[in-house]
Amino acid sequence: MHVVVAHDPYFQQKHDACGISGLFSIKKFTTILKMLAYSVVVDTCDEYCRLGKSTSMEALKKFCNVVKECLNTKHF
């Protein structure tokens, strides 16, 4: 998890202009791993992890790209 967070700033927790915290990295990873491990649909993750459909899909795509890049450069 730490390698992915260090490689792509999308997975880092950020704050908006009002100082409100964004999504935790662990929420994104929980959703991604649930979709990959159990082959669940995105709507199921919405109920469990409280992430929207578009955010879950975006996180999955970015995660796959980061893993592919890290494997190509042997960061793991």
pLDDT value of position 75: 61
Cα–Cα dist 11/65, whole Å: 12
The model's pLDDT over 20-69, given as tens digits with 9 standing for 90+, comes to: 776 778 888 888 888 888 887 777 766 667 778 888 889 899 999 998 98
59 in Cβ contact with 8 (< 8 Å):
no
Model pTM score: 0.76
φ/ψ bin of 19: left (φ > 0), alpha (ψ from -120 to 50), beta (otherwise): left
